[in-house]
Structure 1
Amino acid sequence: MRGTVLAGVALLAVAAGGCSSAPDRFTDARALADAVTAATLAGHTAKFSTEVTTGTTVSRGQGQAQFGQGGTSLSMTTDYVGEPLELRLADRTLYAKVPEAARDQVSGHRAWVRISADGQDSFSQVMGGSLLQLAEQNDPAYTVAQARTAGVVSSSDETQLDGAAAEHYRLTVDLTKLGAELSAGVPGEALTRLGKQGVTVPLDLWLDARHRPMQLVLDLSPVAKAVGGGVSVVKARYTDWGAPVSVGAPNSDEIGTFGAG
């Protein structure tokens, strides 16, 4: 009898051990997004690299970011416009460093200009929306907010990313819930039509043990293809959490107005 009892206890211990070692992953997109947001704020800073594929064109960039309750500040260099371009996002304002050859078009021949999607200067009118979107898509808080608003967790698993342990979450984003937040250069009317057609956007997140983003991949191809475009994918990789960074707006005496040179 004693042997039977001990065997039963041993089996229960094995079962309990198996349960305790099972991964406790998120199944709800809102809970997942809240955990990632909290971990990002706790991480405070990170370095990142980015790869944006549009059709057959691939642009790359790298930068550093600081995360806070008041928003994200970042500085990055990208070849998105075909040549190296430095961007800074601070206090919810985007700045671009004008190439030396074009500074005769800037008031005071200054190096930096403010960029906005609805700006009246020619730089903003041509590139404002695209550059602002590029900066936002490198901010994990922006993408995670989309997942919280309109995401559904499709699946998750334990994996490795560049040799480090990671949790991989696959989500889909419902355009009817997201609306104009996911513009991708598509008019609001087109987004509404695509949403009614059931077009969704895949989002993949890789997180470390503290739920800090390691990598995100936002595949906008379903939207682009539905309106006659091609492949459209944004990939961002985050490293060096908590490392010192240098971010912030340019000095005021370095900022001019494009087209007023």
Structure 2
Amino acid sequence: MRRTALPAVMLVLGALLGACDGETVSFADARALADGAASATDGKAAKFTTDVTAGTMRSKSQGQARVARTGTALAMTTDFLGEPLELRLVDKVVFAKVPENVREDVPGGKPWVKVSPDGADPFSQVAGGSIDQLAKQNDPGRALDQLRRAGTLTESGHADLDGVSTEHYRLDVDMAALGGDLPAGLSAEAVGELNGKLGKIPMEVWLDDAHRPVQIVLDLAPVLAASGVPDSAMARIVTRYREWGTQADIQAPPPEEIGEIPAG
């Protein structure tokens, strides 16, 4: 009887183990996930779209990014404050194309300016921080680096995303561990003003079969809750990447097209 039952038991166990192996994901912790995805995307380019939702407000961006360990280059268009704005991020410098209706404020009417969160020119002082974050929040390399330094894996598995099989990871990002390099436009001062109420924020990452990100979602609802906004308010950033391997020749604007708005 035992000899007869043993092969059947082994077959059942084999089937169960095979099913578990089919659900096994590639990375067991946040650091391994970040390192694996960074290696898979180094030197490659993709197109992206980003939806930012905060309560009733919504903003969209689209463009392409060329990822490298030395720094991502990207070119994008976003509806900043309801108006289309073209941005480029090259060698860690953000360039913004000045809207034509205010281009007379730039000496020589030049179409591009450098934007810096701590710039002395009026454009940077008014919108420098927001524009800098708009560009950098679309950088998958930066998101992966934040996971490497401050992420904790909470759940993993497989999921279909628009009919494509992906590995789906849920993580928590510790704000304190990030120091001043905070996601989603959050400043260290703003986080400090929350008096320790903001500990971790959730992030989700979907990877394709080559370990490249196809979607990254950052849930900012804890930020609103810590700020006293009603729990019903939703806030999140959804960035989707597609066509990894696309050609993307992203360059800084020509020097003769870059102007400088005089400090006010």
Q: SS where residue 42 of structure 2 aligns?
A: helix
Partner residue, 1:37: 38
CA distance in 2, matches of 1:195, 1:35: 35
Q: SS where residue 214 of structure 1 aligns?
A: strand
Partner residue, 1:105: 105
Partner residue, 2:217: 217
CA distance in 1, matches of 2:190, 2:126: 21
Do the aligned partners of residues 115 and 194 (structure 1) sit closer, same or farther apart at CA in structure 2, a change above 3 Å counting?
same
> In the TM superposition, what is the alpha-carbon distance from 1:7 to its structure 2 partner?
2.9
* Match runs of 1:5-84 below 5 Å: 7=7, 11=11, 14=15, 17-18=18-19, 20-41=21-42, 44-84=44-84
Partner residue, 1:123: 123
Is contact 2:25-2:157 (8 Å) kept? no
Is contact 1:95-1:114 (8 Å) kept? yes
Work out whether 1:257 is the aligned partner of 2:256.
no
Is contact 2:110-2:258 (8 Å) kept? yes
Q: Deviations over 1:194-228 (max 9, x none)?
A: 57446311101111011100001111221233224
Partner residue, 1:151: 151
What amino acid does structure 2 have at the position aligned with 1:134? L
> In the TM superposition, what is the alpha-carbon distance from 1:259 to its structure 2 partner?
4.1
Partner residue, 2:135: 135
> In the TM superposition, what is the alpha-carbon distance from 1:4 to its structure 2 partner?
4.3
Do the aligned partners of residues 169 and 194 (structure 1) sit closer, same or farther apart at CA in structure 2, a change above 3 Å counting?
farther
The alignment yields a C-alpha RMSD, in angstroms, of: 2.5
* Match runs of 1:190-205 below 5 Å: 190-192=190-192, 194=194, 196-197=196-197, 199-205=199-205
Which of 240, 244, 247 pairs up with 2:247?
Answer: 244
Is contact 1:49-1:238 (8 Å) kept? yes
Do the aligned partners of residues 172 and 9 (structure 1) sit closer, same or farther apart at CA in structure 2, a change above 3 Å counting?
closer
CA distance in 1, matches of 2:19, 2:129: 51
Q: SS where residue 50 of structure 2 aligns?
A: strand
Do the aligned partners of residues 19 and 60 (structure 1) sit closer, same or farther apart at CA in structure 2, a change above 3 Å counting?
closer
Q: SS where residue 236 of structure 1 aligns?
A: strand
- Same amino acid, percent of matched pairs: 48
Farther off after superposition, 185-194 or 105-114: 185-194
Structure 2: any 5+ residue segments left out of the alignment? none
Q: SS where residue 180 of structure 2 aligns?
A: helix
CA distance in 2, matches of 1:195, 1:161: 38
Do the aligned partners of residues 16 and 52 (structure 1) sit closer, same or farther apart at CA in structure 2, a change above 3 Å counting?
closer
Partner residue, 2:174: 174
Is contact 1:174-1:195 (8 Å) kept? no
Q: SS where residue 68 of structure 1 aligns?
A: coil
Farther off after superposition, 105-114 or 229-238: 229-238
CA distance in 1, matches of 2:126, 2:89: 18
